[in-house]
Protein backbone atom coordinates (compact mmCIF):
# COMPACT_ATOMS: atom_id res chain seq x y z
CA UNK A 1 0.00 0.00 0.00
CA UNK A 2 1.69 3.22 -0.98
CA UNK A 3 1.62 6.18 1.31
CA UNK A 4 -0.14 9.40 0.40
CA UNK A 5 1.73 12.51 -0.63
CA UNK A 6 1.48 14.23 2.75
CA UNK A 7 3.02 11.32 4.63
CA UNK A 8 5.78 10.88 2.07
CA UNK A 9 6.67 14.56 2.29
CA UNK A 10 6.62 14.43 6.10
CA UNK A 11 8.95 11.40 6.18
CA UNK A 12 11.27 13.08 3.70
CA UNK A 13 11.34 16.39 5.60
CA UNK A 14 11.93 14.47 8.81
CA UNK A 15 15.11 12.92 7.45
CA UNK A 16 16.44 15.97 5.62
CA UNK A 17 15.78 18.43 8.44
CA UNK A 18 16.34 15.96 11.31
CA UNK A 19 12.95 16.73 12.86
CA UNK A 20 10.14 14.57 14.21
CA UNK A 21 7.74 13.60 11.39
CA UNK A 22 4.78 13.50 13.77
CA UNK A 23 5.31 17.16 14.64
CA UNK A 24 5.10 18.38 11.04
CA UNK A 25 1.87 20.15 10.13
CA UNK A 26 0.61 22.86 7.79
CA UNK A 27 2.30 25.56 9.85
CA UNK A 28 5.77 24.01 9.68
CA UNK A 29 7.79 26.47 7.67
CA UNK A 30 11.31 27.60 6.88
CA UNK A 31 11.08 30.60 9.17
CA UNK A 32 9.99 28.61 12.22
CA UNK A 33 12.03 25.42 11.84
CA UNK A 34 15.62 25.33 13.07
CA UNK A 35 17.97 23.77 10.56
CA UNK A 36 15.72 24.67 7.59
CA UNK A 37 18.19 27.07 6.00
CA UNK A 38 18.88 27.83 2.36
CA UNK A 39 21.25 24.89 2.01
CA UNK A 40 18.62 22.48 3.32
CA UNK A 41 15.99 24.15 1.16
CA UNK A 42 17.99 22.98 -1.82
CA UNK A 43 18.39 19.53 -0.29
CA UNK A 44 14.61 19.31 0.18
CA UNK A 45 14.03 20.26 -3.45
CA UNK A 46 16.52 17.66 -4.69
CA UNK A 47 15.14 14.94 -2.39
CA UNK A 48 11.59 15.65 -3.55
CA UNK A 49 12.70 15.39 -7.17
CA UNK A 50 14.24 11.95 -6.49
CA UNK A 51 11.34 10.72 -4.40
CA UNK A 52 8.56 11.70 -6.80
CA UNK A 53 10.54 11.50 -10.07
CA UNK A 54 9.64 15.07 -10.93
CA UNK A 55 11.63 18.15 -11.82
CA UNK A 56 11.24 21.64 -10.41
CA UNK A 57 11.83 24.96 -12.13
CA UNK A 58 14.13 27.36 -10.28
CA UNK A 59 11.13 29.65 -9.83
CA UNK A 60 9.45 26.91 -7.82
CA UNK A 61 12.32 26.44 -5.36
CA UNK A 62 11.47 29.47 -3.29
CA UNK A 63 7.73 28.78 -3.36
CA UNK A 64 8.21 25.62 -1.30
CA UNK A 65 9.06 27.16 2.05
CA UNK A 66 6.48 25.40 4.21
CA UNK A 67 5.05 21.89 4.47
CA UNK A 68 1.74 23.17 3.08
CA UNK A 69 3.44 24.83 0.08
CA UNK A 70 5.52 21.75 -0.67
CA UNK A 71 2.47 19.51 -0.77
CA UNK A 72 0.68 22.00 -3.06
CA UNK A 73 3.52 22.28 -5.54
CA UNK A 74 4.30 18.57 -5.57
CA UNK A 75 0.65 17.53 -5.95
CA UNK A 76 0.27 19.80 -8.96
CA UNK A 77 3.15 18.01 -10.68
CA UNK A 78 2.13 14.42 -10.15
Partner 1 sequence: MTEPIKLDHRAAVRTHLEGGELQAAQQSARLLLQEQPSLINFRFLRQLITALPSGGLGLKPYKVALVSSFSIEFIHDSLIAYGFVNGLRIEIYQPGFGMVNQEMLDSNSGLYAFVPDVTVLAIEGEDWLPDVYTHFMDADTAGASFEAVVKGFRQQLAALVTTFRATSSSPLLVHNLALPRQRRAGIAGLRLPRSQAQLVTDLNRSLLEMAANTVDVHTVDYAALVGYFGVQQWYDARMRLYAKAPIANSMLGNLSLEYMRYFRALSGLTKKCLVVDLDNTLWGGVIGEDGIDGIQLGPNYPGSAFVEFQRAVLDLYRRGVILAIASKNNPADVDAVFQNHRFMLLRKEHFAQTQIHWEPKSESLKRIAKGLSIGLDHMVFVDDNPAECAQVRRELPMVTVIHLPSRPELYAETLYAEGLFDTLSLSDEDRRRGQLYQQRAQAETMLAASGNLEDYYRDLAMELTIAKVDQSSLARATQLTQKTNQFNLTTIRYSEAEMAERMADANWLAITVGVRDRFGDNGIVGVMLAHAASDSLNIDTFLLSCRVIGRTVESAMLAHLCDAALARGIKKLSGRLVPTEKNVPVRDLFDKHGFSKLTEDATGTTTWELDLTHGPVPCPAWFKTVA
Which positions lie near partner 1, rule CB under 8 A?
Answer: 2-3, 8, 11-12, 15-16, 18, 39, 42-43, 46-47, 49-51, 58, 61
Minimum CB separation from partner 1 for residue 12, in Å?
A: 6
Query: Which residue's CB is nearer to partner 1, number 16 or number 71?
Result: 16
Is the Cβ of residue 16 or residue 27 nearer to partner 1 in the bound state?
16
**In the 8-state DSSP scheme, what is residue 63?**
T
Query: Would you say 73 and 60 are in contact if contact means Cβ atoms under 8 Å apart?
Result: yes
Pick 25 or 62: Cβ nearer partner 1: 62
Element (H, E) at 17: helix 5-17
**Which residues are bridge partners to 76 per DSSP?**
none
Closest by CA to 65, choosing from 43, 49, 48, 41, is: 41
**Nearest-approach distance from CB 24 to partner 1, in angstroms:** 15
Amino acid sequence: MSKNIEQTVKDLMSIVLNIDATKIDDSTAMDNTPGWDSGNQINLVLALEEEFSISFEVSEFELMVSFFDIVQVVSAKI
